[in-house]
Chain A
Protein backbone atom coordinates (compact mmCIF):
# COMPACT_ATOMS: atom_id res chain seq x y z
CA UNK A 1 0.00 0.00 0.00
CA UNK A 2 1.71 3.17 -1.19
CA UNK A 3 1.74 5.89 1.44
CA UNK A 4 2.88 8.54 -1.04
CA UNK A 5 1.15 8.67 -4.41
CA UNK A 6 1.85 10.59 -7.54
CA UNK A 7 -1.08 9.70 -9.72
CA UNK A 8 0.14 11.30 -12.93
CA UNK A 9 2.95 9.27 -14.52
CA UNK A 10 3.59 12.09 -16.99
CA UNK A 11 2.71 15.70 -17.68
CA UNK A 12 3.31 17.81 -20.77
CA UNK A 13 3.44 21.62 -20.48
CA UNK A 14 4.19 24.41 -22.92
CA UNK A 15 7.37 26.37 -22.28
CA UNK A 16 6.63 29.54 -20.32
CA UNK A 17 3.43 28.18 -18.77
CA UNK A 18 2.88 26.89 -15.25
CA UNK A 19 3.64 23.26 -14.40
CA UNK A 20 1.71 21.77 -11.48
CA UNK A 21 2.79 18.42 -10.09
CA UNK A 22 0.65 16.73 -7.48
CA UNK A 23 1.31 14.36 -4.62
CA UNK A 24 -1.06 12.71 -2.14
CA UNK A 25 -0.19 10.93 1.09
CA UNK A 26 -2.08 8.72 3.46
CA UNK A 27 -0.01 8.79 6.66
CA UNK A 28 -1.06 11.67 8.92
CA UNK A 29 2.21 11.28 10.87
CA UNK A 30 4.25 12.63 7.97
CA UNK A 31 5.57 16.05 8.91
CA UNK A 32 8.21 16.85 6.31
CA UNK A 33 7.89 16.73 2.56
CA UNK A 34 10.44 17.06 -0.19
CA UNK A 35 10.58 17.26 -3.96
CA UNK A 36 13.46 15.79 -5.91
CA UNK A 37 14.24 16.15 -9.58
CA UNK A 38 15.89 13.43 -11.63
CA UNK A 39 17.47 13.54 -15.06
CA UNK A 40 18.14 10.31 -17.02
CA UNK A 41 21.27 8.42 -15.94
CA UNK A 42 21.67 10.65 -12.89
CA UNK A 43 20.65 10.38 -9.26
CA UNK A 44 17.81 12.47 -7.81
CA UNK A 45 18.72 15.97 -6.69
CA UNK A 46 16.95 17.92 -3.98
CA UNK A 47 14.67 20.68 -5.24
CA UNK A 48 12.52 22.09 -2.44
CA UNK A 49 10.95 21.01 0.86
CA UNK A 50 8.21 22.00 3.27
CA UNK A 51 7.53 21.33 6.91
CA UNK A 52 4.02 20.52 8.11
CA UNK A 53 3.93 23.74 10.13
CA UNK A 54 3.85 25.70 6.88
CA UNK A 55 1.45 25.65 3.96
CA UNK A 56 3.71 27.23 1.37
CA UNK A 57 7.41 27.42 0.58
CA UNK A 58 8.91 29.30 -2.32
CA UNK A 59 12.32 29.18 -3.96
CA UNK A 60 12.65 31.16 -7.16
CA UNK A 61 10.45 29.61 -9.84
CA UNK A 62 9.48 26.72 -7.55
CA UNK A 63 6.71 26.81 -4.96
CA UNK A 64 5.42 23.92 -2.90
CA UNK A 65 1.95 24.06 -1.36
CA UNK A 66 0.81 21.79 1.46
CA UNK A 67 -2.82 21.08 2.33
CA UNK A 68 -2.71 18.97 5.48
CA UNK A 69 -6.44 18.46 5.75
CA UNK A 70 -6.52 16.99 2.25
CA UNK A 71 -3.15 15.24 2.68
CA UNK A 72 -2.06 16.80 -0.56
CA UNK A 73 0.92 18.74 -1.76
CA UNK A 74 1.74 20.29 -5.08
CA UNK A 75 4.79 21.71 -6.80
CA UNK A 76 4.33 24.73 -9.03
CA UNK A 77 6.97 25.73 -11.56
CA UNK A 78 6.54 29.16 -13.09
CA UNK A 79 7.54 29.79 -15.80
CA UNK A 80 8.40 26.34 -17.08
CA UNK A 81 11.67 26.03 -18.97
CA UNK A 82 13.07 23.27 -21.21
CA UNK A 83 15.63 22.36 -18.54
CA UNK A 84 12.76 21.49 -16.21
CA UNK A 85 12.04 18.39 -18.27
CA UNK A 86 12.80 15.59 -15.81
CA UNK A 87 11.17 13.11 -13.46
CA UNK A 88 9.94 14.69 -10.24
CA UNK A 89 9.65 12.65 -7.06
CA UNK A 90 7.68 13.56 -3.99
CA UNK A 91 8.98 12.15 -0.68
CA UNK A 92 7.79 12.30 2.93
CA UNK A 93 9.02 11.50 6.40
CA UNK A 94 7.51 11.33 9.87
CA UNK A 95 8.71 12.59 13.24
CA UNK A 96 11.07 10.13 14.85
CA UNK A 97 11.34 8.08 11.70
CA UNK A 98 13.56 9.85 9.27
CA UNK A 99 13.32 7.32 6.50
CA UNK A 100 11.99 8.84 3.32
CA UNK A 101 8.91 7.36 1.68
CA UNK A 102 8.85 8.10 -2.02
CA UNK A 103 6.19 8.49 -4.64
CA UNK A 104 6.52 6.78 -8.01
CA UNK A 105 7.45 9.99 -9.82
CA UNK A 106 5.95 12.19 -12.53
CA UNK A 107 7.76 12.73 -15.82
CA UNK A 108 7.49 16.39 -16.80
CA UNK A 109 7.96 17.28 -20.46
CA UNK A 110 8.30 20.93 -21.38
CA UNK A 111 7.38 21.56 -25.00
CA UNK A 112 9.10 24.41 -26.86
Chain B
Protein backbone atom coordinates (compact mmCIF):
# COMPACT_ATOMS: atom_id res chain seq x y z
CA UNK B 1 0.00 0.00 0.00
CA UNK B 2 1.01 3.61 -0.59
CA UNK B 3 1.13 4.54 3.06
CA UNK B 4 -2.06 6.50 3.48
CA UNK B 5 -4.43 5.79 6.33
CA UNK B 6 -7.70 7.35 7.37
CA UNK B 7 -9.19 7.32 10.84
CA UNK B 8 -11.71 6.49 12.01
CA UNK B 9 -13.03 4.06 9.39
CA UNK B 10 -16.59 4.42 10.64
CA UNK B 11 -18.26 7.02 12.82
CA UNK B 12 -21.78 7.80 13.92
CA UNK B 13 -22.35 11.23 15.39
CA UNK B 14 -25.23 13.46 16.38
CA UNK B 15 -26.40 16.53 14.54
CA UNK B 16 -24.69 19.67 15.78
CA UNK B 17 -21.56 18.04 17.14
CA UNK B 18 -18.09 18.76 15.76
CA UNK B 19 -16.29 15.88 14.05
CA UNK B 20 -12.67 15.56 12.95
CA UNK B 21 -11.43 13.03 10.42
CA UNK B 22 -7.75 12.31 10.08
CA UNK B 23 -5.64 11.46 7.07
CA UNK B 24 -2.08 10.31 7.65
CA UNK B 25 0.53 9.62 4.98
CA UNK B 26 4.03 8.21 5.11
CA UNK B 27 4.93 9.07 1.50
CA UNK B 28 6.03 12.68 2.05
CA UNK B 29 3.71 13.79 -0.78
CA UNK B 30 3.14 17.53 -1.01
CA UNK B 31 -0.50 17.49 -2.05
CA UNK B 32 -3.37 16.15 0.02
CA UNK B 33 -7.09 16.18 -0.72
CA UNK B 34 -10.39 15.52 0.98
CA UNK B 35 -13.28 14.23 -1.11
CA UNK B 36 -16.77 13.08 -0.30
CA UNK B 37 -18.58 10.38 -2.24
CA UNK B 38 -22.34 10.30 -2.47
CA UNK B 39 -24.63 8.18 -4.65
CA UNK B 40 -25.24 9.85 -7.99
CA UNK B 41 -22.43 12.37 -7.51
CA UNK B 42 -19.16 10.52 -7.75
CA UNK B 43 -16.36 12.16 -5.77
CA UNK B 44 -16.46 15.86 -4.98
CA UNK B 45 -13.52 17.87 -3.71
CA UNK B 46 -14.00 19.48 -0.29
CA UNK B 47 -10.59 21.01 0.43
CA UNK B 48 -7.03 20.39 -0.60
CA UNK B 49 -3.57 21.25 0.66
CA UNK B 50 -0.43 22.08 -1.28
CA UNK B 51 1.90 22.24 1.69
CA UNK B 52 2.09 22.70 5.43
CA UNK B 53 -0.41 25.38 6.44
CA UNK B 54 -1.34 25.90 2.76
CA UNK B 55 -4.91 24.92 1.99
CA UNK B 56 -7.65 25.91 -0.41
CA UNK B 57 -11.33 25.24 -0.95
CA UNK B 58 -12.85 22.75 -3.33
CA UNK B 59 -16.31 22.71 -4.84
CA UNK B 60 -18.21 21.63 -1.69
CA UNK B 61 -16.34 23.32 1.16
CA UNK B 62 -19.26 24.88 3.08
CA UNK B 63 -19.49 23.46 6.60
CA UNK B 64 -15.98 22.01 6.50
CA UNK B 65 -12.57 23.24 7.59
CA UNK B 66 -9.14 21.69 7.28
CA UNK B 67 -5.74 21.97 8.84
CA UNK B 68 -2.29 20.75 7.93
CA UNK B 69 0.30 21.41 10.58
CA UNK B 70 2.63 18.62 9.43
CA UNK B 71 3.38 17.20 6.00
CA UNK B 72 1.98 13.82 6.98
CA UNK B 73 -1.35 14.84 8.52
CA UNK B 74 -4.39 16.47 6.95
CA UNK B 75 -7.41 16.94 9.20
CA UNK B 76 -10.98 17.54 8.07
CA UNK B 77 -13.37 19.09 10.59
CA UNK B 78 -17.11 19.31 10.35
CA UNK B 79 -17.74 22.28 12.56
CA UNK B 80 -21.37 21.37 13.36
CA UNK B 81 -22.39 18.12 11.69
CA UNK B 82 -25.64 17.98 9.72
CA UNK B 83 -27.47 15.02 8.19
CA UNK B 84 -26.48 16.26 4.70
CA UNK B 85 -22.87 15.54 5.65
CA UNK B 86 -23.60 11.82 5.98
CA UNK B 87 -21.24 10.45 3.36
CA UNK B 88 -18.11 8.47 2.67
CA UNK B 89 -15.02 10.65 2.94
CA UNK B 90 -11.84 9.87 1.04
CA UNK B 91 -8.42 11.35 1.51
CA UNK B 92 -5.97 11.34 -1.39
CA UNK B 93 -2.33 12.27 -1.84
CA UNK B 94 -0.24 13.18 -4.84
CA UNK B 95 3.38 14.09 -5.40
CA UNK B 96 2.76 16.73 -8.04
CA UNK B 97 0.08 19.25 -8.84
CA UNK B 98 -1.13 17.44 -11.97
CA UNK B 99 -4.30 15.34 -12.21
CA UNK B 100 -2.40 12.05 -12.20
CA UNK B 101 -0.76 9.98 -9.55
CA UNK B 102 -3.49 10.22 -6.92
CA UNK B 103 -3.45 7.58 -4.21
CA UNK B 104 -6.56 7.24 -2.09
CA UNK B 105 -7.14 6.09 1.43
CA UNK B 106 -9.75 3.47 2.22
CA UNK B 107 -12.35 5.99 3.30
CA UNK B 108 -14.30 7.00 6.39
CA UNK B 109 -18.02 6.30 6.51
CA UNK B 110 -19.66 9.05 8.52
CA UNK B 111 -23.29 8.92 9.60
CA UNK B 112 -24.90 11.98 11.16
CA UNK B 113 -28.11 11.16 13.05
Which A residues fall within an 8 A CB radius of B?
A: 4, 6, 32, 34, 41-46, 49, 89, 91, 93, 98-100, 102-105
Pick out which of these stretches binds chain A: B13-21, B41-49, B61-69, B76-84.
B41-49
Q: Which residues of B contact A103 (CB under 8 A)?
A: 42
Assess the A32–B107 pair: CB atoms within 8 A: no
Assess the B106–A41 pair: CB atoms within 8 A: yes
Number of A-B contacts (CB under 8 A): 54
Cα A46 to Cα B107 with chains together (Å)? 16
Known: A42-B106, A42-B107, A43-B92. A98 touches B98 (CB 8 A): yes
Cα A42 to Cα B102 with chains together (Å)? 14
The 8 Å CB contact of B42, one of A34, A42, A102, is A102
Q: Is chain A's binding surface mostly helix, strand, loop or mixed?
A: strand
* Residue with the greatest number of chain B CB neighbours at <10 A, chosen from A45, A89, A104: A104
Number of interface residues of B (CB under 8 A): 23
Which B residues fall within an 8 A CB radius of A?
A: 39-45, 48, 58-59, 90, 92, 97-107
Q: Which residues of A contact B103 (CB under 8 A)?
A: 43
Q: Is chain B's binding surface mostly helix, strand, loop or mixed?
A: loop
Assess the A99–B107 pair: CB atoms within 8 A: no
Q: Which residues of B contact A41 (CB under 8 A)?
A: 106-107
Assess the B90–A44 pair: CB atoms within 8 A: yes
The 8 Å CB contact of A99, one of B40, B45, B105, B106, is B45
Assess the A89–B43 pair: CB atoms within 8 A: yes
Q: Which residues of A contact B101 (CB under 8 A)?
A: 46
Assess the B104–A45 pair: CB atoms within 8 A: yes
**What residue of chain B has the Cβ atom nearest to residue A92's Cβ?**
B99
Q: How distant is A44 from chain B, measured CB to nearest CB, in Å?
A: 5
Cα A43 to Cα B72 with chains together (Å)? 18
Assess the B99–A104 pair: CB atoms within 8 A: no
Q: How distant is B106 from chain A, measured CB to nearest CB, in Å?
A: 5
Cα A42 to Cα B108 with chains together (Å)? 10
Cα A99 to Cα B57 with chains together (Å)? 11
Assess the B41–A104 pair: CB atoms within 8 A: yes
